[in-house]
Structure formats: structure tokens, C-alpha cells
Amino acid sequence: MTPPAGAGLAVSRLTFLRGRRAVIDDVGFNLAPGTLTALVGRNGAGKTTLFSLLSTLLCPHAGTIQLAGVDAVRDPGLARRHLGVVFQSAALEPRLSVEDNLRFMASCRGMRGSEANAALPGILEELDIAAVARARIDTLSGGERRRVELARALVGRPPILLLDEPTQGLDPMARQAFWTRMRAQVAQGHTVLCATHHVEEARDADRVLLLDRGRLRASSSWRSLTQGLRGVIELVTVDNDKSLAWLVQAGWRVERGEGCLRVAAVDVAAQLPALLCAMPVAVVRAEAHPPGLEAVLDAFGAEAEGTACA
């Protein structure tokens, strides 16, 4: 079962105040159906507040939110039918089984017992949690719990999924597995907005929204956001002093790291082979690191962590 076509998310001039301070300030964007959008920003940038607004937990002071064509500010009850939410922390009843939790959510979505019987096995299979369907939530691993959270959000196949740092606390393998499954949901036509701190997730998204101090600083693909930004090539050579001297003379921006040299360059993946060929000293190890989330946030003037306001 796939979500209905044309079920995107549109936000216009969204503003939310705490006291006199705008925590979300005149934010607007459109997410097309069947796309995956990453929301990035430092802690306190307003990501969770934006999620609370989009998930109808908060009411904005100004602006509009259209969820699958429904005005979520005027009719939040109707808008919730089009929405599945995965929160940053757990939102399941730990003393009951996976199946009990999902069945309850199916009832909340107005599904009859027979409809739930037909729909739930598919979701459990899809997310590879059928084997633990009867297990209590508090006996599951972290990765399994996150998948159950996603399953909860998928009950009733709402066309829009809001995921607030859904892979937080997972190891890289579990994170990768979760992300793969989410990608499959997008391929089925779900519109997904996912707040993340992981560069791999932002890189894999169709589009990235960059939030800073409640304002939307950028809305573009990861490739566009990182274009012209310097990454780092880490080099370990047999003679780092000689290599450093040569790199400086050759005009590279280079600094010493711990037992290595860190060469700053644009498009590091393309530059690395040429650099290795030109090096006059034997290279023991070389790693290319494209620009990360921090570099992007810095480039767009995002406020440094610890000085953020929200």
C-alpha cells in the first residue's frame, strides 16, 4: 500500500515565539511527495521546535503548514491523519509487546481489527521485526526499538513522515540499516523530513534544509551546499617534515595533525590521486575527508554550539 500522490508538505512564513523571542522565524519550504529531506542545524537551532510545529504539538504564532493539502494550523485533527512521527526519544509502551503497541496505534488511526490484521504483518516484515512481534518493547535492542518506532509511524501508511533524529544512539551498522529502510519508504512515495546530525544521512537526502537560530539559512542538495567548500586530505608519509615543506612550497594549505599532515582542498576525492602522484616522499597512508556538517554550518554562518539561542 502506497501513500496517495500529491501528499507533500508546504510551510510558509512560519513563526513561533517563546516570550518575545522568535524560536522559529519566518521559515518557509515545500517538500515534494516521494522525497527525502534532511533538516540540519546545531543544537538549539530550532529543529525540535519546528518538528513540534509540523507534528501539530505546537501552534504557530504566524504562518501556515499544509500537510498533504490539509491546513494543519486550522484543522490539526485532520492533518494528523496524514502524519507519522518518530520522536528523538522513545514513544512506545515498554511493558507491552510490539504487536500490542502497533495494534493500539492502528485503532487510534480508526482501523478495524481485520484491517490491522491485514496491514501489520506487512509493516513488520518490511522493517524486519516480525520475529520480535510478540516480544515486550523493554526486551528489544536499541536498533529494534527504533524500527518499531518507525513501524508505529507507518501504521495506516500516512503519506508524510517526520523523523526527529531517528538514528540517535544507534551504532553505524544499525544506523545504516535504519536509513536503508527509510529510503525504501521514500521509494514507495512517502514524503520524509528527517532531522539529523549525521553527515552521511544529510548527504544521502534529496535536499537539505539548514536551520540556524530559528531561521532557514539554506535549502539545497548536499552537493550544492558543499560546492566550493574545502575538505581535508590526511597524509602520513615516511618523512612528514620534508612533505610539509614541499606542500607549502607547492602552494597547498597544510597544517600538522597528530602524526599526520592535514591538507585542505576543494573536491578532495578528485585532488587526492594527483597529489599522491606529485608527492616527492613515500606516502604511508592517505585519507580524503569531504567537507562535513560543521564546515557547511560554518560556511552558512550558523551560530557555534554553546552560543545558540533556542
Partner 1 sequence: MRMIVAMIWFDLKRFGQSPWRILFGLTQPLLYLFVLGAALRSGTYAEVADYQAYLYPGILGLALMFSAVSAAVGIVHEREVGFFRALLVAPVPRRHLAVGKVVAGAVLAFLQTLPLLPFAPVAGLGLTPVSLTQLVGAMFLSALVFSALGLALAMPFRSVLVFPVVSNALLLPMLFLSGALYPLDLAPDWIQLAARFDPAAYGIDLMRGAVSGQFAIAPGRSVLLLALCLLVAGVWVLARLRRAAEQ
Residue from 6, 28, 94, 273 touching partner 1 (CB under 8 A): that is: 94
**Which listed range, 98-106, 127-135, 179-187, 190-198, lies at the site for partner 1 (CB under 8 A)?**
98-106
21 belongs to the binding site for partner 1 (CB under 8 A)? no
* Total of residues contacting partner 1 (CB under 8 A): 30
Cβ atoms of 17 and 61 within 8 Å: the answer is yes
19 belongs to the binding site for partner 1 (CB under 8 A)? no
Give least dist CB 175 to partner 1, A.
20
- Cα dist. 141→1, 32, 68, 169, 177 in Å? 28, 34, 34, 11, 14
100 belongs to the binding site for partner 1 (CB under 8 A)? yes
C-alpha cell of residue 278: 606529485
Residue from 96, 279, 283, 308 touching partner 1 (CB under 8 A): that is: 96
49 belongs to the binding site for partner 1 (CB under 8 A)? no
Site for partner 1 in 104-123 (CB under 8 A): 104-105, 107-110, 112
152 belongs to the binding site for partner 1 (CB under 8 A)? yes
The residue (of 1 and 91) whose beta carbon lies closer to partner 1 is 91
230 belongs to the binding site for partner 1 (CB under 8 A)? no
56 belongs to the binding site for partner 1 (CB under 8 A)? yes
The residue (of 66 and 107) whose beta carbon lies closer to partner 1 is 107
The residue (of 12 and 88) whose beta carbon lies closer to partner 1 is 88
126 belongs to the binding site for partner 1 (CB under 8 A)? no
**Which listed range, 80-88, 171-179, 216-224, 302-310, lies at the site for partner 1 (CB under 8 A)?**
80-88
Q: What is the contact surface with partner 1 in residues (CB under 8 A)? A: 52, 55-59, 77-78, 80-81, 83, 85, 87, 89-96, 100, 104-105, 107-110, 112, 152
